[in-house]
Each structure stands twice: as C-alpha cells, then as structure tokens.
Structure 1
Amino acid sequence: MTQSLGDSLLALLPDYGAPFLAAITLLSCLALPVPSSLVMMAAGGFAAAGDLSYTAVISAALLGAVAGDQLGFWLGRSGSDILKRMENRGGKQAHALARASHLTRQRGGVAVFLTRWLLSPLGPYVNFAAGAARMGWRGFSAASVAGESVWVVLYIGIGAGATQQLETLWPLISDASGILVTLAVAGLLALRLRHLLHAHKMEKGG
C-alpha cells in the first residue's frame, strides 16, 4: 500500500509541482503517513531534468516543512487532546511520542534540529512534545528552520544527483549508511525516476 501511495504521489508531482510538494512536507510534519523524503528526492530528479525549478522545489519543501512544524508545535502548546489520544491509542505512535518527549526534555533545541533530518521519524512527535513542554518558540523555530534546511537540501540534492549520475553516486550512498539509513532507497528511486521522467516527456511530446 505504501509503495502504491508513493507511486501515485510521484505521478502527481510533475503536474502539480511546488505547491503539491509543500503540502506533502507539511502533512509529514504532522505525523501523517506520506512518503515526504521520497517525494522530495523525486522533485530533485524532476528539477535536474528541467521539468521543475530548483528554487521552487527547495523553497516549497522548506516552507511546507516549517509550516508543519509550527502547526504541530502550537497544537501541542494549545492543550489539544491530540497527545492524549496518541498516548491512549498505544502502539507505535505512543512509543514514538514517549521517546520524543524524553529527547525533547533532555536535549531541547538540539533534539528539534536532529529530528528534522537525522532522526526524522521522531520529528512530528517532537513538534507536539516541544509545544506541550512549553519550549521557547524562538528557540524551537530557529532549530526547526536549520534542521529542515538540511533535510530539504539533502534529499532534493540526492534526487538530482541520483538522476544525473547514478553510477557515480550510488557507491557513495551505500558507504554512507551510518549517516542516514534511509539513503539506501536512493538507488531504487533513481531507476523509478528515470522511468517516470521518460513517461512524462512522452506525454508532453504527445
């Protein structure tokens, strides 16, 4: 199901462009199950092929991610029952929220920064936890923007590089698994992107 969703979102990207990418990154920062990193890498591939603008996709992805962080932070601070519902539901969400709360109390802004890109599965839950813990808004925002900038540039850059130079880039990505395990999908993404780009160009030509 996840793969099918990813394929559907990738197919929509060249037609809806930057606004669509902004919506995807925003939703991902609210703990909704959308493959935002995959879509960002795809956006980098389309930018490398000239179908999308680098400036547009980077700006849109960053704007959406920061807006999502802010929304999650204020939901946590507002006393919304979203946290209680997650805790009561149990399972993966409750576990992730507990880890995020602990990390936020221990590391503060550093936790916010690292969970934008290095520990990204915890990112949305850190947003909620930071708001609930009454972390200072300025500190949260600074760490959010810095971390999301790393995430956006990294994944869009990987998508662009994988599309242009797969044979050169893939061995380097494989050796970097200690930095980001999720980079292992870049090789498969590049192959899928080449097929998608070809199909898109055939449509435009037709």
Structure 2
Amino acid sequence: MEQLERYGYPALALLVLLEGIGIPTPAVSVVVAAAVLAGHGSMSLPLVAAITFAAAVVGDNLGFWLGRKAGRPAILRWGRRVGLTEPRLARAEHFFARRGRNIIVVARFIDGLRQTNGLIAGAVDLPWRQYAIRDAIGGALWTALWVSIGAFAGGNLDRVRALVHRYETPALIVAGLLLVSLLLVYVWRRRRRGTPD
C-alpha cells in the first residue's frame, strides 16, 4: 500500500484509528500490508502489532465517546453516509439491550460493525467499562489474527500484493453475503419461535 510505504507507522495508526470512529478505511489491508513489510524486514513486527492494537482500541473508544456525547440524533444525521440508518440503529439498540455486550468482541471481525460498534454502544448508553474491556479483548484478537497472517506472508511480498489487489473486492462481497445470510437465518429463527404451533 502506497501510503504505508511512504508514511509508515503514522499511516498505520491513523487508518486503524479512523476506522474506529466510523470512517471507512482499508484498515485490515493496511495491517496485513504492514505485517508483510515487517516479515520482509522493512518494519518492526512488534511495533506493527503494538501500534495496531493501540490505534484500534483508541479509535473505538473515541467512537464510543462520540456516540455518547453526540447521541442518537447526530448519529442518525451523519450515520446515513456509512449505512447507519434509523431502522439499523434501532435494531442495534435492541440487540445490545438483549445480548449485545459480548457482540463487541466479535464486532471487530465484522465489516460494518467494526466501524460503528463504538458509536452504537455509546449512543445506547452502554457502561464504558463494560465496553472498554470487551473492546480491548476484540482488539487484541483482531490484531493477532491480521498481524500473524501478514507476518507469515512476509516472505512473498510481491505475490501477496498482487493477491490482495486481485481478491480484496471478491472477499468483501463474500463476507457481506455471509453476514446477510447469517442475519436472515437469525430473523427466520426468531419469527419461527414467535409463531404458535
């Protein structure tokens, strides 16, 4: 990635941090690319991991406080730009109220939720300590996964670059379809449970 090669660690930190406050960035690709460069010897792997983890947690917590301070009306006003509409926010609020606290750990691995989980958690008045602990666990697992993948691929730098550019869009489409399928199954099961026999 050109920005990463040109600006190094600051670019890594900024792109991961911005994603946590709801601004879509290619954070996963940047983390993998940084770890690939580290595996190739151009960057320090421990520093890549530490910066990724810190930027992820700081960004998410900034998103949380933004959601808490701005509140629901501001999120609805600006959230439409990233697909966070009123029905989606209402569903998220209901989900957080019923069982959402532990979804924070998993949210880091789901595109869309990764960018907005802090905003939503703050807007629905989830206690900050409960959010921060789960977010740190999710951030650590997410960092470990993508940094490890990049580090293992570091010996094949040119090949990995070509594969990332070639398969990034199809991989995002497949992930999106998988997420929609899981949500449809979830809705279908909920309706089935609510239907009297």
Q: TM-score range by the shorter chain?
A: 0.7 to 0.9
The corresponding residue for 1:45 is 36
- In the TM superposition, 1:124-163 aligns within 5 A as 124-163=115-154
TM-score, with length taken from structure 1: 0.69
1:96–1:125 Cα contact (<8 Å) kept: no
1:14–1:52 Cα contact (<8 Å) kept: no
Q: Does 1:35 align with 2:10?
A: no
**Mapped partners of 1:138, 1:156: distance in 2:** 27
TM-score, with length taken from structure 2: 0.72
**Mapped partners of 2:108, 2:161: distance in 1:** 19
How far residue 98 of structure 1 moved from its aligned partner, in angstroms, is 4.3
| Aligned with 2:102 (options 84, 97, 110) | 110
For 1:78, what is the secondary structure of its paired residue? Answer: helix
Percent of aligned pairs with the same amino acid = 33
List alignment gaps of at least 5 residues for structure 1. 1-9, 167-184, 193-206
Compute the RMSD of aligned alpha carbons: 2.9
The 1:84–1:191 alpha-carbon spacing in structure 2 relative to 1, beyond 3 Å, is: closer
Q: Highest relative contact order (Cα 8 Å, sep 6+), 1 or 2? A: 2
| Aligned with 1:59 (options 50, 55, 69) | 50
**Mapped partners of 2:9, 2:17: distance in 1:** 12
The count of corresponding residues between Structure 1 and Structure 2 is 164
In structure 2, give the amino acid aligned to 1:39: V
**Mapped partners of 1:151, 1:86: distance in 2:** 27
The 1:138–1:28 alpha-carbon spacing in structure 2 relative to 1, beyond 3 Å, is: same
In structure 2, give the amino acid aligned to 1:28: E
**Mapped partners of 1:143, 1:106: distance in 2:** 16
Q: Which 10-residue stretch deviates more, 31-40 or 96-105? A: 96-105
Q: Which 10-residue stretch deviates more, 31-40 or 76-85? A: 76-85
Q: Does 1:20 align with 2:15?
A: no
